Amino acid sequence: MQTELSNTLGVQYAVFGFTPFPAVAAAISRAGGFGVLGAVRYTAPDDLKRDLDWIEAHVDGRPYGLDVVMPAKKVEGVTEADIEAMIPESHRQFVKDTLAQYGVPELAEGEASGWRITGWMEQVARSQLDVAFDYPIKLLANALGSPPADVVDRAHARGVLVAALAGSARHARKHADAGIDIVVAQGYEAGGHTGEIASMVLTPEVVDAVAPLPVLAAGGIGSGQQVAAALALGAQGVWLGSLWLTTTEAELPSPRLIEKLLAAGSGDTVRSRALTGKPARQLRTEWTDAWDDPAGPGTLPMPLQGLLVAEAVSRIQKYEVEPLLGTPVGQIVGRMNSERSVRAVFDDLTRGFEEAVDRINRIAGRSEGQ
C-alpha cells in the first residue's frame, strides 16, 4: 500500500486516518499510516497544545497532520451571541419538548454543554493554526473545502501540504485552482458532511479532474480489498474516519454508543441535517427521525442548528439516552462489529489488500495467456 504520495510523506502505508482522538491519531502513525487529528472540538488553544504535545511524545517521530474546519470566505463582525439571537423560539421549544418526551435530565448547574459550533468559526480555526504551526505537522486538511489563500500560503511556507475535501469534480477543480496539494474525494457513503455521489463514481471523476494532483478516496472504505479498489481507481491513498471509532484507543464518551455502533448495519445510517444544519451521515436515531419528520419545525441552516442542539446532544450523551444516542458515522459501520486496536485494523487492511492484489494478478495472468 505504498504510493508516490505516501513515499513523499514518509509513511509505510497510504492510509490516512482522520480522528478526533489523539491516542488514535498517534497509533495510526505508529502503525505505518498517517494520523490526522480533528481540531474542531478545540475551542481553547491550550487544549490543542496539550494534545499536540501528547502526540509528539507518543508518535515515535512518525509524521502526522491536523484537520480544521474553516470557511473559504470570511464573515466580519458576527459573534456567537449574534448567531444565537437568530434561533426561533419555536425551534428551542421543539428541542425542550423532544428531550422531555424521552426523560433526558438537565445538566448540572454551571456544567458546560460540551461541543459547540464555535469550532466552525474562522477566528477559532485561526487560533488552532497559530498553535499547530509550532509543531512539525506535515499535512493541513480542511473539511469545508479550500481554506483561505493566506492560510494555504502560510502552510506552504512551512513545508506543510494542504488537503481539502470534495464531493464532486467541480469542487475538486476549485481546490486545484486554489493551490491545494491533495484532494480528498469524499463519497456519499462517508460519515459526517458528505455529498450525493458514491465513491465508485466520484473517485475516478476527481482523479481525472485534478490530474496530476494526488487524490485520496474516502467514504465506505474499511477493508484492504476496498483500499486496493481505491488505488485501482486512480487514488494515491485512502482517507478513513469512521473505522477508528470502535478501536480500543478511541475515547467515545458512552459505552452504549459503542454498543450501538458495533450492532449497526450498513443500512442504519442516514444523511440528516439534525446535527449541524448541513447533510451529515450519522446513526439513524429517534433524534434524527424527529428532526426529519415533516410534521416538525425542520432544521435550521448552519451554524444555527449546531448552536441550537449543542446542549441537547451533550445531555443525550452524558445520560446515555439510548433511543436518541447517535454519532456521525459512515455506511462502513456495518463492518465495525468488534473492538480492535488500531494495529489490528492495520493488520486486517494489509492482509485484505494483499489478497485483493494477488487475485487481480491471477486474473491478469490468465488473461495474458489466452
The answer to whether 259 touches 326, Cβ cutoff 8 Å, is no
pLDDT score of 75: 55
Residue 221 burial (10 A CB sphere; 0-12, 13-18, 19+):
buried
Could you give the percent of the chain with pLDDT greater than 70? 93
Report the range of poorest mean pLDDT among 119-123, 175-179, 362-366. 119-123
pLDDT score of 69: 86
pLDDT score of 370: 47
Kindly indicate the confidence band of residue 70, based on its pLDDT and cuts at 50, 70 and 90.
confident
pLDDT score of 56: 97
Q: What are the CA-CA distances from residue 268 to residues 261, 304, 327 (Å)?
A: 9, 26, 12
Average pLDDT over residues 96-101: 97
| pLDDT value at 166 more than 60 | yes
Cis bond before residue 148 (omega within 30° of 0): no
Provide CB contacts within 8 A for 366, sequence distance 6+: none
pLDDT score of 275: 92
CA angle 142, 326, 311 (to 5 degrees): 80
Evaluate if pTM is beyond 0.85: yes
| 37 phi, psi to nearest 5 deg | -85, 125
At 298-354, the pLDDT tens digits run 999 888 898 899 999 999 999 999 999 999 999 999 999 999 999 999 999 999 999
pLDDT score of 190: 97
At 265-274, the pLDDT tens digits run 999 999 999 9
Q: Any bridge partners for residue 285, and if so which?
A: none
In the 3-class helix/strand/coil scheme, how is the chain assigned residue by residue? CCCHHHHHHCCCCCEEEEECCHHHHHHHHHCCCEEEEECCCCCCHHHHHHHHHHHHHHCCCCCEEEEECCCCCCCCCCCHHHHHCCCCHHHHHHHHHHHHHCCCCCCCCCCCCCCCHHHHCHHHHHHHHHHHCCCCCCEEEECCCCCCHHHHHHHHHCCCEEEEEECCHHHHHHHHHCCCCEEEEECCCCCEECCCCCHHHHHHHHHHHHCCCCEEEECCCCCHHHHHHHHHCCCCEEEECHHHHHECCCCCCCHHHHHHHHHCCCCCEEEECCCCCCCEEEECCHHHHHHHCCCCCCCCCCCHHHHHHHHHHHHHHHCCCHHHCCCECCHHHHHCCCCECHHHHHHHHHHHHHHHHHHHHHHHHHHHHC
Rounded CA Rg of the chain:
20
pLDDT score of 369: 47
At 141-161, the pLDDT tens digits run 998 788 999 999 999 999 999
In the block, cell 471509532 appears at 245
In angstroms, the CA 7 to CA 184 distance is 18
Average pLDDT over residues 39-46: 88
| pLDDT value at 77 more than 70 | no
Average pLDDT over residues 190-201: 95
Report the range of poorest mean pLDDT among 106-110, 206-210, 332-336, 351-355. 106-110
Average pLDDT over residues 76-83: 68
| pLDDT value at 127 more than 80 | yes
